[in-house]
Amino acid sequence: MTAVAAAPLSVARRRSVLAQLARKEIHRYGTHPLFLLGVAMVIATSIGRADRVLSSLGNVIVPAAALGVMGLLVMASLVRGSDRAAAAAGVTAAGERTRTLALASAVVVPLSVSLGWLAWAVWAYHRWPTPPSSLPFGPAGDAWAYGLLIALGVLPALGGPLLGLVLGRWVRFRGAAPTAAVLLVMLTVVMQGLFEPVRTVRVFAPWTYFGGPYGTVDEPNRILLFSGSPQWYCGYLAALCVLGVVVAVLHDREAPRRRLVVTAVVVLVAALVLGTLAMTRGVPETMVNPLSTAQP
Amino acid sequence: MNAPTAVLDGVSMSYGRVQALAATQLSFDSGVVGLLGPNGAGKSTMLRLLATAMLPSSGAITIAGHLATGSMAERTAARRRLSYLPQEVGFPRRMTAFGFLDYVAVLKEWDDKTARHREVCRVLELMNLADRRSKRVTSLSGGQRRRLAIAQALMGQPDLVILDEPTTGLDPEQRASLRSILSRYAEHGTVLLATHQTEDVSALCDRVIILDDGQVCFDGTVTALIDTARGQVWMGPVANIDALSSWRTGSGEIRSVGGQPTPANRPAEPAVEDAYLLSRAARRGPARPETIQPGSAAAVKARS
């Protein structure tokens, strides 16, 4: 037998392998029953007239839950499948890093759906505008509303699956994804903005409200606008998404990791800065609509 | 002169304080090599090391001219030249047989879709799974799943095919078919298989290595291994005195390996299994748990 030195794969061919694998993961994501259920939920809640008080601003939780939280479960399942296939093959030339990047690229599937939802939400926001007594008001304008739709409707569809990717890579516990989904929902309840002690730092949570109809017995139609900037919050969430990909790729111990660790630290610092900006910029304090109303 | 497909140069492996493989020097040329040994002898460790699934504690491994224990690039180059069937395989739940092989083929860097699909169909056909291609892996039987796992190892033309107990769960017809496939592969490359099936070794292997307690205790041809047992295997109405192992055969006679023959017993042609048992006993020492003592209740029962 002649040992012929194999020519190293060209960069173009290596990219081609990644592209092929990414196509497979995109297909697997797009045909996953939980994802299809999530899409059905998003479509079902987008049919008909938008909410009379909040218009499409009141729909942001739907893509966040149906594409984000469910995406967490979908991606964790895809990671498990990919790991099993790789383990069945023993060793392969394309390593864990390539597989992780291919899995990460599958988030274009929920992202595409959430962008479709965003197009509907922007259209619906203008087609059925919110009344003057509702959001946005005061220092919050249309840019605030668009920031809200992107931060709370589009980016969770990216962040949920990426959190699933990180968990799939780093946590061997089989129930990690469902547990994380429950914890995420509990964290959102605590950090929604209603609790005064955490109202300012709530923007460091991966999902939070920036306002909404929080009526009281005396003022049932009261609308609150919370402090912070949804636009900067978009930046914070985008940084968390990048951090998620880097941390997931870091799991591969075979490939060099020093540069990735540096990248992770830089992105983490950027996320903290953006989170701080989301907390301190935009609406300076909690405001109430009608503006004439006293303390929130 | 042709270079060996794989070389283990002073390779050892320890898990903490437990030494799984003592410093080993081996080289593999084309042909089928059988790896025999009891459970925990270090067979799977050796195969995993050769497959570059883990790095040795010491020593160097070369696969098709690439230093697998060197840089990541060299290890990846080595991986392009080998395929590996692990002992236990878990499959992804939602994939079909075709989908699974196609996925693995991409991991093996088959980036041309047409060629990849052709290859997947070829190995499915080869392993007699063509009619199961669109079935989910979870709906396949144990034997079919094993064949699917073997199919992924046979994709392409790897220089080194490493199979950890490939025939487990296969029926005799499938085993015979696999032997035929592997012997064809061995014409242009090296097939290394760990097995407990000594008949597979005698039917298929050009060379056999016996591992025991992490050490190579035999390395030679199958004929040479069988020759080590010549004159130590007997057939007759009763078991040999102090036989290492004895059992009643289908003809009703007692086959004894080792020990002192009784006058009624006659020499028998040894097999790989006999030589393996004797090799194990030589290392193990005097303990002989499977001996049927002449005149004992077991021997009487065997005679009757």
Each residue's pLDDT tens digit, B57-83: 999 999 999 999 999 999 999 999 999
* Closest chain A residue by Cα to residue B52: A91
pTM given for the model: 0.88
> Does residue B293 carry a pLDDT above 70?
no
The mean of the pLDDT values for chain A is 91
Tell how strand A223-225 and strand A287-289 pair up: antiparallel
Question: Does residue B62 contact residue B77 with C-beta atoms inside 8 Å?
Answer: no
Inter-chain residue contact A88 with B95, CB threshold 8 Å: no
In a domain, A190, yes or no: yes
In a domain, A2, yes or no: no
Tell me, what's the pLDDT at A256? 86
> Does residue A13 carry a pLDDT above 60?
yes
In a domain, A164, yes or no: yes
Inter-chain residue contact B103 with A8, CB threshold 8 Å: no
Is this prediction's ipTM beyond 0.85?
Answer: yes
Inter-chain residue contact A94 with B108, CB threshold 8 Å: yes
Over the stretch A219-278, which tens digit does the pLDDT of each residue have?
888 899 999 999 999 999 999 999 999 999 999 988 889 999 999 999 999 999 999 999
Q: Is the dihedral of CA A88, A94, A97, A100 positive or negative?
A: negative
Over the stretch B197-213, which tens digit does the pLDDT of each residue have?
899 999 999 999 999 99
Inter-chain residue contact B80 with A93, CB threshold 8 Å: yes
The total number of structural domains that make up chain A: 1
Inter-chain residue contact A20 with B111, CB threshold 8 Å: yes
> Does residue A3 carry a pLDDT above 80?
no
A vs B, Cβ pairs < 8 A, gives: 124
Asked if the C-beta of B26 comes within 8 angstroms of chain A's C-beta atoms, the answer is no
What DSSP character marks residue A174?
T
Say how far apart CA B229 and CA B232 lie, in whole Å: 5
Asked if the C-beta of B91 comes within 8 angstroms of chain A's C-beta atoms, the answer is yes
The pLDDT of B96-108, averaged and rounded, is 96
* Closest chain A residue by Cα to residue B146: A88
In a domain, A75, yes or no: yes
The pLDDT of B295-302, averaged and rounded, is 44
Instruction: Give the per-residue SS3 of B68-97.
Output: CCCCHHHHHHHHCCEEEECCCCCCCCCCEH
> Does residue A11 carry a pLDDT above 70?
no
* Residues from A in contact with B at Cβ < 8 Å: 1-6, 8-9, 13, 16-17, 20-21, 24, 28, 32, 77, 80-82, 84-95, 98-99, 254-256
User: Residue A209 sits in which domain range?
Assistant: 11-288
* Closest chain B residue by Cα to residue A88: B89
Say if residue A13 is exposed, middle or buried (CB neighbours under 10 Å; 0-12, 13-18, 19+).
middle
Inter-chain residue contact B108 with A5, CB threshold 8 Å: no
Say how far apart CA B102 and CA B90 lie, in whole Å: 16
Cβ neighbours of B91 in A, within 8 Å: 84-85, 88
Inter-CA distances, A146 with A118, A124, A135, A150, A252, Å? 9, 12, 12, 6, 38
How many angstroms away from the CA of B94 is the closest CA of chain A? 8
* Three-state secondary-structure class, residue A27: helix
In a domain, A293, yes or no: no
Displacement of CA A24 from its chain's centroid (Å): 22
Tell me, what's the pLDDT at A238? 98
> Does residue B102 carry a pLDDT above 90?
yes
How many angstroms away from the CA of A113 is the closest CA of chain B? 23
Inter-chain residue contact B92 with A84, CB threshold 8 Å: yes
Higher pLDDT, A222 or B56: B56
* Closest chain B residue by Cα to residue A7: B77
Which of A17, A80, A89 shows the shortest C-beta gap to B104?
A89
> Does residue A174 carry a pLDDT above 90?
no
Which of B65, B94, B107 shows the shortest C-beta gap to A5?
B65
Give the mutation candidate from A20, A28, A252 for the B interface (greatest B CB count, under 10 A). A20
Cβ neighbours of A20 in B, within 8 Å: 106, 111, 113
In a domain, A178, yes or no: yes
Percent of chain B residues past pLDDT 70, beyond the cut: 93
Cβ neighbours of B188 in A, within 8 Å: 1
> Does residue B289 carry a pLDDT above 50?
no
How many angstroms away from the CA of B243 is the closest CA of chain A? 41
Inter-chain residue contact B153 with A20, CB threshold 8 Å: no
Tell me, what's the pLDDT at A168? 96
In a domain, A163, yes or no: yes
> Closest Cα partner for B274 from B290, B252, B297?
B290
Question: Does residue B120 contact residue B102 with C-beta atoms inside 8 Å?
Answer: yes
> Does residue A2 carry a pLDDT above 50?
no
* Closest chain B residue by Cα to residue A81: B92
> Does residue A78 carry a pLDDT above 80?
yes
Tell me, what's the pLDDT at A217? 82
Over the stretch B121-151, which tens digit does the pLDDT of each residue have?
999 999 999 999 999 999 999 999 999 999 9
Tell how strand B6-15 and strand B58-63 pair up: antiparallel
The mean of the pLDDT values for chain B is 90
Question: Does residue B32 contact residue B191 with C-beta atoms inside 8 Å?
Answer: yes
Cβ neighbours of B108 in A, within 8 Å: 89, 92-94
* Closest chain A residue by Cα to residue B76: A93
Give the mutation candidate from B111, B136, B187 for the A interface (greatest A CB count, under 10 A). B111
